[in-house]
Structure 1
């Protein structure tokens, strides 16, 4: 039976889990992230000529990247799609482990985790379903807004193409776009703005209704898509409130992180030899450690929150 979601208790448990279980989350994710990084590095070596990019110096532009490509653009796109699928597959195992730990108390010992068993496969397919839903609805809403605005695919393509050229040009010149430059493409820009606004409201509602989808799919022997909609009936506003407070807390934490890393980056830039270089190197190591600690904490909190909501609705505990 559906249980009331206690906002304070859910958020307290979320932050406590991310803190207490930080090392556990790290063991689940470090190898998948390393493998994804290795794929990205290897793919970049196949797609681009490193010597050509290095010859461009520090100011590498899109034109430099295009000239340095070793393979056709279609092949590069295939590499990109393969990388996305690999990332989703590797992350699915780590997600499933966190979800089952939070919802069932299932411990998975070891210094690393790689899994693609039933729970991980269901999380993988769940991620694909969510991606298709989100991008598909964004496209459909864009088409409806475009037709309602009297625009066409041709005018949208021409307008967005001109906008892209203007953005690249202004970036190379170090200037900003003016109202006069944007006026000729005001129609396409309006379509984009309205599409983003409407899509945000629609997709925010759907994704909040589907908060239990991935953790429930990892725990139960089924894809919990329609079940998640039924499960969150009567809980939408509570879940919305939980996420508003959670995002606000994450924003504060991010500001603290940015200020901290700013100071660390300043100190790691110390040069001049002797003790200054040693201090700079030490702060460089500290900067890496702080970034890892922050990213793992954020990841653990995000995954724990939806799993806790799922568990609270289904069991009340």
Structure 2
């Protein structure tokens, strides 16, 4: 495992983090074993959020962490979402952020969150007030680092005017690369750690998915246009071609490429989602190489030729309160 320090802090963290979003929706015992397996693999970063199974992911993580030294595990969580008419919407007001944080601390069984993110930018609430509130939480020790999730470079810049941002968490993977011309260079220039989620694109980039897979029980996949025909077939073909290319050129797999696509840049973290212990098995085989620029260019060309109808992660964006009320 490789480790880095979160920018502007003394937090040392594994460069692969466990994304617990699916743990909030599947079998509890399997989720607990998955967390333990990740910790056994040297993954000390656990990324979660209250909206993952309506707090269930945090509760499961908190139950597992009773058996571990709290100071040896880095918890990343979020706030800034509420449910209105059973739908999650953005609300980054300090009042809701504080309430959500208190609930998260209780579920996790801890007195502090190591990395605390604004889950989504809220166009109806001044970034200045949210940022200052986050700064106060950091000063009092309730959180150790400030993160912004799903923020553009412009939104991050505005937030940075009022509080130090230590981490940016955007969706980023081989298929969804918009951050390479916005958020990523901004983070590199301003010394902000980039923590990418959707690193494996909901499992597409593991190379294990098949055409007849059933996604009806998966809350994210069934809403993701990539997993709907005819796009799904196009993405599966791209994955197969990338896997063949990687094996021939590097003796590696598409999964190795997916993670190192992120970690090939300095000061980056890749979140690895999973809800079964076996999902964590390949972690130890990921390190020891980096994709060179030629490899990156050839992979992009494979995608260009096979994915005729590409789509980004825009389906993830929750509505604002104004659009829901």
Establish whether TM, by shorter chain, passes 0.5: no
TM-score scaled by structure 1?
0.24
Q: Which has the higher strand share?
A: 2
Q: Which has the higher helix share?
A: 1
TM-score scaled by structure 2?
0.23
Greater relative CO, 1 or 2 (CA 8 Å, sep 6+): 1
